[in-house]
Every structure is written in structure tokens, then in C-alpha cells.
């Protein structure tokens, strides 16, 4: 799995990312084009579909399709999306299958207005909401949210921020949103703040994005993170904060630091790349290894391998070469496709590996199928020993907050000891970074994270039977 959004997205031995959301509101701007560039910077958060909705002040137009941002949009499409207000979305399906109907932004038109919504995260009370709202065309929790917000606006003639303030408290779980009607842009973070959302300013116009890298690509200035539980609305250049939720402790997903977020993004004052290097340094202290070279699994293992090498003094070597030009069309996240794709995308360099004791560094192992092939590949290239070092703890529990992990049976570490995992993967040794060390390496307060997939401590109630296709089974 690659943390870089511009590298192939399908070498994915971990769950899919959680979607990227974006919004921009201003005067005399080409909002759709700005959104296109913002989504381009958020491509790593979802490669299955991309979409933009734009308002010219009176009507909302939505354009979305399956595929990468650059495949969905071109000059002609963007030229047909005029307006000063837009939101956008890149999707990895975490509720509902990868279909056009489930791509976002979700759109609803009603008598006097229309809304569009882009969602990052997963609700945990989807079944309850679905039974209240009834069958819909699409099969996502995002559709349910849109429906209930639009219903309130249509029935009661209230503004988008007012409808959101009423509707949001009934949603449970993870939801970072950008929402718009014809005149107002809104950004929302659920009360735990599972997923990030930041606010930026571009020549007097406002930008909202999942990550700061999307501000950078536009040349926008970072203003601040939108806080857990905060909703900001922007109308006619005026920005207002609302607090529609009961207060809760921040539970930012720790995997944003481990591999979801772009390395060049800054999250709560911490540059993600540097935090990942610190994880590697910490791993070297925790697990010193007699070895000749440190080899990263590209791209995801690179910063941790750099940190490991720096601290251990073992030379860093690019021993796995990536084919940058394979994989663009392999956007189907099915396991069979992933397995076939590994050798097309990575190749071990015999010249630097042969006869060496290798420390192979990656940031996480979820299902383990890719890691197993990589260990075998490094051995075939002549490594005398392969020592796996992973810059996060064993991934033992499924995520209900926007990561597509499948159920526990798909998780390599669910019921295995570390020694059993090492044996399964064919490694001479295996060490995972301890949770305390991981949290310390983030540079952020350790008690402000969700660590449920690593610790089993879920910050909310979680559904027992809900799965990605819950609404498809029930409709
Ligand atoms: S369960 Fe894991 S992947 Fe899901 S939000 Fe929590 S830390 Fe992130």
C-alpha cells in the first residue's frame, strides 16, 4: 500500500483508505477547477470514484464517475462546471459497493433548494437510520445522511446549517463532511474527530480539505484544523462556527499518522513524514537487529526505514524497485487482484540484496498476503536473513470508522502470536512497534487517538453485524 497519492494505489496489503473531501467558497473563482486540484492532492484517500458538485448561485451541477480524478475530469468537463462554490470527493467504498450510484458527492434536489454532500468515514448506526428512512437508490450511509438533511430543509424550510445542526446529532460513528446548498458551504467533523479536516484561505476565499496537502497544491494558506465536533458554515465570505454535538474526547485515527495521510500533510502541528521517521527510530531502539542493510517497502515503509537506519547505523538501501507505470488500471480492490499485482509492481534488486542480512521495514501488516510475497522475493534475490520490522502494532481488530478491513477472519494478527505471524510470513524475525512508542512518535497527546484496530478499545459502540454491504443486503 502506498501512502503517496500519485503512486500506484493498488499495491494494497492493508485496508482501503477512508475517502477524501474538499470544499471551496469564494468570489470570482473557478470553484470546480480548484476542487479538481484539491481532489488530485487527495487521490490517495480513495481511488474508486471521484466527483465534484458546483453551484452558480442558483443551481447545483454534479459530475462524478468511477475512476481516478484525472480519469473522471478533463478540460471539457471542468469548463461545464461554472460557479463560485463547490465540493468534491474521492472515494474508497467502506459502506456499499463500488458503483456509480454510490459515488459522491451525493445530491438531492427539492422544491426551493438542493444539497450535495461528501463524506469521509463510516456511521455506526447505519441500520437504525436505514430502518427509519426507508429504501434508497444508493447503498451508502452517506446517502442516508443526505436524505435526512434534505428532508428537514424541504419540510421545514430551514437553512442548511440549521438542518445540519438538527440532523447531525442523530448520526453516530465517523463522519467528516463537506456539504453545500446553492449558496452555503459547510464543513463538519464528528465529535470524536476520527478523520481530519482543515480550513484554508486562498486570496480571500475559503477552502476546506481533508488534509493540508490539498491546500498546498492550490497555494492556499493553512488557517487551522476544524475541531472535533465543530461545524463551520461559510456564506458570502463570512465563516461561522457551530457546535451541534455533545462534547467528546478527540479520537483521531492513529492510522492517519501511520499511513493514511500524505507524508507532506501537517496534522495537529506534526509533519506526517517526520512522525513516520520517528516511528522508525523508535523501532530501532525497541528492536536492535544484527543486519547489513535496511530496505524499505516502497513507498509506505520509506520514512520508517530512514529512521531505523539513522538510529541503528545500518545502511539504508533501496532494495525493492517499484514499477511506477503499472497499476493505474488496477483499481479493483478485490483480494485476487492484489495478489496478482505484487510482482508486477515491485522487484527485488539482487545486486544489492544478495548475501546480505536484510531488515525489511514497512508501516503495517493487515492481511499479510503482500508481505509474505515480499519476504519470499527478498529471499529469492539472495538475502541470507530477512528481519521484518513494522512501524505499528499488530492490526488485530476490524475498523468501523471508515477503513475497509473486512471482518476479523481476514486480519493476519487477529488470532496469531507474533512468532506465528513471522513463521507464516517466512521471516527470520518480526517485531512490531509497541503502541506506546507509536503514540509517542506522533508528537501528539497519546490519549487523543482512536487505536481500536490495535488495542480493541473502541471509543464508541460498534455494530456487531454491520458490514460494508449492509444496505445492499437489506434492500
Ligand atoms: S479502528 Fe484503527 S483504522 Fe479505524 S479509526 Fe480507529 S485507529 Fe483508525
Rounded average pLDDT over 160-179: 96
Report the 10 Å Cβ neighbour count for 68. 21
Ligand 1 centroid from CA 450, angstroms: 6
At 178-188, the pLDDT tens digits run 999 999 999 99
Structure-block grid coordinates of residue 452: 481500536
Given a contact cutoff of 8 angstroms between Cβ atoms, the answer to whether 225 and 269 are in contact is no
- The predicted pLDDT at position 139 comes to 66
Atom of ligand 1 nearest to the CA of 395: 2
Please state which of the ranges 163-172, 197-206, 330-339, 393-402 shows the lowest mean pLDDT.
330-339
- The structural domains of the chain, with segments of one domain joined by +, span 20-251, 267-449
Query: Does 198 participate in catalysis according to the annotation?
Result: no
If you take atom 8 of ligand 1, which residue's CA is the nearest one? 253
Q: Which of 142-156, 189-203, 425-439, 460-474 has the lowest mean pLDDT?
A: 460-474
Which is the closest atom of ligand 1 to the Cα of 451?
Answer: 7
User: And the C-alpha cell for 369?
Assistant: 498476503
Cβ 10 vs Cβ 325: under 8 Å: no
Options 3.40.190.10, 3.40.50.720, 2.60.40.3880, 3.60.20.10; CATH of 20-251: 3.60.20.10
- 137 C-alpha vs ligand 1 centroid, how far in Å? 29
Q: Is the pLDDT of residue 93 over 90?
A: no
Which residues have C-beta atoms less than 6 Å from ligand 1? 194, 253-255, 399, 401, 403, 450-453
Report whether 241 contacts 230 (CB < 8 A): yes
Cα 140 to Cα 391: distance, rounded to the nearest angstrom:
33
Atom of ligand 1 nearest to the CA of 255: 8
**Can you list the alpha helix ranges (DSSP code H) found in 112-256?**
126-133, 141-156, 160-167, 212-218, 255
Q: CA nearest 316: which of 324, 327, 308?
A: 308
pLDDT at 213: 98
Question: Could you give the CA distance from residue 295 to residue 247 in angstroms, rounded to a whole number?
Answer: 44
- Kindly calculate the radius of gyration of the chain based on its CA atoms and give it in whole angstroms: 22
Select which of 19, 253, 399, 453 is catalytic: 19
What is the per-residue pLDDT for 405? 72
Q: What is the pTM of this model?
A: 0.91
Residue 8: half-sphere exposure toward Cβ, Cα within 13 Å: 23
Q: Region 142-158: what's the mean pLDDT?
A: 94
Q: How far apart are CA 292 and CA 314, in angstroms?
A: 6
DSSP-based helix, strand, coil % in the chain, nearest 5: 35, 25, 45
Question: What residues pair up with 17 in beta bridges, in sequence order?
Answer: none
**Residues composing the chain:** 475
Spacing, Cα 129 to ligand 1 middle (Å): 22
Of 227 and 408, the structure prediction assigns the larger pLDDT to: 227
Q: Are 426 and 372 in contact (CB under 8 A)?
A: yes
Asked whether the predicted pLDDT for residue 100 surpasses 90, the reply is no
Q: Is domain 267-449 in CATH 1.10.3720.10, yes or no?
A: no
With 0-12 / 13-18 / 19 or more C-beta atoms within 10 angstroms meaning exposed / middle / buried, residue 357 is middle
Which residue has a Cα nearest atom 5 of ligand 1? 253
Nearest alpha carbon to residue 273 among 430, 431, 176, 391: 391
How many Å lie between the centroid of ligand 1 and the Cα of residue 133?
28
CA–centroid distance, 81 to ligand 1, in Å, is 36
Closest CA relative to residue 94, chosen from 469, 473, 474, 472: 469
Domains 20-251 and 267-449 share a fold: no
Write the pLDDT tens digit of every residue in 347-366.
999 999 999 999 999 999 98
d(CA 109, CA 343): 47
pLDDT of 344 strictly over 80: no
Q: How many CB atoms lie within 10 A of CB 37?
A: 17
Q: What pLDDT is recorded for position 225?
A: 97
How far is the centre of ligand 1, averaged over its atoms, from the C-alpha of 399 (Å)? 5
Nearest CA residue ID for atom 2, ligand 1: 453
Evaluate if residue 267 carries a pLDDT over 70: yes
pLDDT confidence of 8, banded at 50, 70, 90? Answer: very low
Residue 462: which pLDDT band, with cuts at 50, 70 and 90? confident
Quote the ligand 1 centre to 219 CA distance (angstroms). 31
Nearest-atom index, ligand 1, CA of 398: 1
Question: Ligand 1 pocket test: which of 254, 366, 462 has the largest number of ligand atoms within 8 Å of its C-beta?
Answer: 254
Grid cell for residue 42: 487527495
Asked if residue 63 lies in contact with residue 77, where contact means CB atoms within 8 angstroms, the answer is yes
Could you count the other beta carbons within 10 Å of the beta carbon of residue 331? 19
Phi and psi, residue 402, nearest 5°: 120, 5
Average pLDDT over residues 389-400: 95
Mean of per-residue pLDDT scores for the chain:
89
Q: How far apart are CA 131 and CA 468, in angstroms?
A: 17
- Which ligand 1 atom is the nearest neighbour of the CA of 194? 5
C-alpha cell at 77: 468537463
Mutational test site, ligand 1, from 92, 95, 255, 449, max ligand atoms within 8 Å of CB: 255
In this predicted model, what pLDDT tens digit does every residue of 12-27 receive, in sequence order? 445 455 799 999 999 9
The whole-number pLDDT of residue 10 equals 37
Nearest CA to ligand 1 atom 4: 399
Mean pLDDT throughout 456-468?
75
Phi, psi of 107 (to 5 degrees): -125, 140
What confidence tier does 430 reach under pLDDT thresholds 50, 70, 90? very high
CB 33 within 8 A of CB 218: no
Q: Is 95 exposed, middle or buried (0-12, 13-18, 19+ CB in 10 A)?
A: buried
> Mind listing the pLDDT tens digit for each residue in 199-226?
999 999 999 999 999 999 999 999 999 9
% of the chain residues with pLDDT over 70: 88
DSSP letters, 322-362, are E-TTS-TT-----HHHHHHHHHHHEEE-HHHHTT-EEEEEE
Q: Which three cell numbers stand for residue 397?
A: 481488530
Cα-to-centroid distance, 420 and ligand 1 (Å) = 24
Residues contacting residue 353 through CB under 8 Å, at least 6 positions apart: 293, 295, 317, 319, 378, 381, 382, 383
Nearest atom within ligand 1 for CA of residue 454:
2
pLDDT at 285 over 80: yes
Give 245's Cβ-side CA count (13 Å radius). 24
DSSP state of 431: E
Ligand 1 site-directed mutation target among 14, 399, 446, most atoms within 8 Å of CB: 399
Cα dihedral: 278, 279, 281, 285 (round 10): 140
Please choose, from the candidates 461, 448, 456, 361, the residue with its C-alpha nearest in 3D space to the C-alpha of residue 408: 456
Amino acid at each position: 500500500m502506498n501512502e503517496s497519492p500519485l503512486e500506484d494505489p493498488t499495491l494494497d496489503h492493508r485496508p482501503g483508505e477512508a475517502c477524501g473531501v474538499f470544499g471551496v467558497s469564494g468570489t470570482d473563482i473557478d470553484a470546480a477547477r480548484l476542487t479538481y486540484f484539491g481532489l488530485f492532492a487527495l487521490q490517495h484517500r480513495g481511488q474508486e470514484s471521484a466527483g465534484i458538485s458546483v453551484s452558480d448561485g442558483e443551481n447545483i451541477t454534479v459530475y462524478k464517475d468511477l475512476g481516478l480524478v484525472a480519469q473522471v475530469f478533463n478540460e471539457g468537463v471542468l469548463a461545464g462546471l461554472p460557479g463560485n462554490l463547490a465540493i468534491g470527493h474521492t472515494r474508497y467504498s467502506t459502506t456499499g459497493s463500488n458503483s456509480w450510484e454510490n459515488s459522491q458527492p451525493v445530491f438531492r434536489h427539492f422544491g426551493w433548494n438542493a444539497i450535495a454532500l461528501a463524506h469521509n468515514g463510516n456511521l455506526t448506526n447505519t441500520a437504525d437510520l436505514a430502518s427509519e428512512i426507508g429504501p434508497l437508490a444508493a447503498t451508502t450511509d452517506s446517502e442516508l445522511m443526505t436524505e435526512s438533511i434534505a428532508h428537514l430543509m424541504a419540510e421545514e424550510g430551514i437553512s442548511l446549517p440549521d438542518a445540519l445542526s438538527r440532523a447531525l446529532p442523530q448520526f453516530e460513528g465517523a463522519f467528516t463532511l463537506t456539504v453545500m446548498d446553492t449558496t452555503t458551504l459547510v464543513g463538519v467533523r464528528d465529535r470524536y474527530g476520527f478523520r481530519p479536516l482543515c480550513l484554508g484561505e486562498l486570496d480571500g476565499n475559503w477552502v476546506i480539505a481533508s488534509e493540508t496537502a490539498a491546500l498546498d497544491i492550490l497555494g492556499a494558506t493553512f488557517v487551522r484544523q476544524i475541531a472535533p465536533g465543530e461545524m463551520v458554515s461559510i456564506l458570502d465570505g463570512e465563516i461561522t462556527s457551530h457546535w451541534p454535538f455533545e462534547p467528546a474526547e478527540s479520537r483521531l485515527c492513529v492510522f492517519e499518522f501511520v499511513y493514511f495521510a500524505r507524508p507532506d500533510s501537517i496534522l495537529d502541528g506534526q509533519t506526517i513524514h517526520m512522525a513516520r521517521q520517528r516511528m522508525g527510530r523508535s523501532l530501532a531502539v525497541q528492536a536492535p537487529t544484527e543486519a547489513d542493510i535496511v530496505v524499505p517497502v516502497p513507498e509506505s515503509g520509506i520514512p520508517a526505514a530512514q529512521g531505523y537506519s539513522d538510529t541503528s547505523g545500518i545502511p539504508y538501501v533501496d532494495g525493492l524497485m517499484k514499477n511506477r507505470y503499472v497499476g493505474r488500471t488496477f483499481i479493483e480492490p478485490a483480494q485476487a487482484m492484489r495478489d496478482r499485482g505484487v510482482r508486477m509492481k515491485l522487484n527485488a534488486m539482487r545486486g544489492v540484496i544478495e548475501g546480505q542480512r536484510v531488515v525489511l521495514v514497512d508501516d503495517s501488516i493487515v492481511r499479510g498476503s503482500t508481505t509474505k510475497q515480499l519476504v519470499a522475493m527478498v529471499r529469492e534475490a539472495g538475502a541470507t536473513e530477512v528481519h521484518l520490522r513494522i512501524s505499528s502494532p499488530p492490526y488485530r481488530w476490524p475498523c468501523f470508522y471508515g477503513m475497509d478491513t473486512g471482518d476479523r477472519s481476514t486480519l493476519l494478527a487477529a488470532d496469531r502470536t507474533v512468532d506465528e505471524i513471522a513463521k507464516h510470513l517466512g521471516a527470520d524475525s518480526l517485531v512490531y512497534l509497541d503502541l506506546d512508542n507509536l503514540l509517542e512518535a506522533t508528537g501528539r497527546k497519546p490519549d487523543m487517538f482512536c487505536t481500536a484496530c490495535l488495542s480493541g478499545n473502541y471509543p464508541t459502540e460498534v455494530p456487531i453485524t454491520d458490514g460494508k454491504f449492509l444496505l445492499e443486503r437489506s434492500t
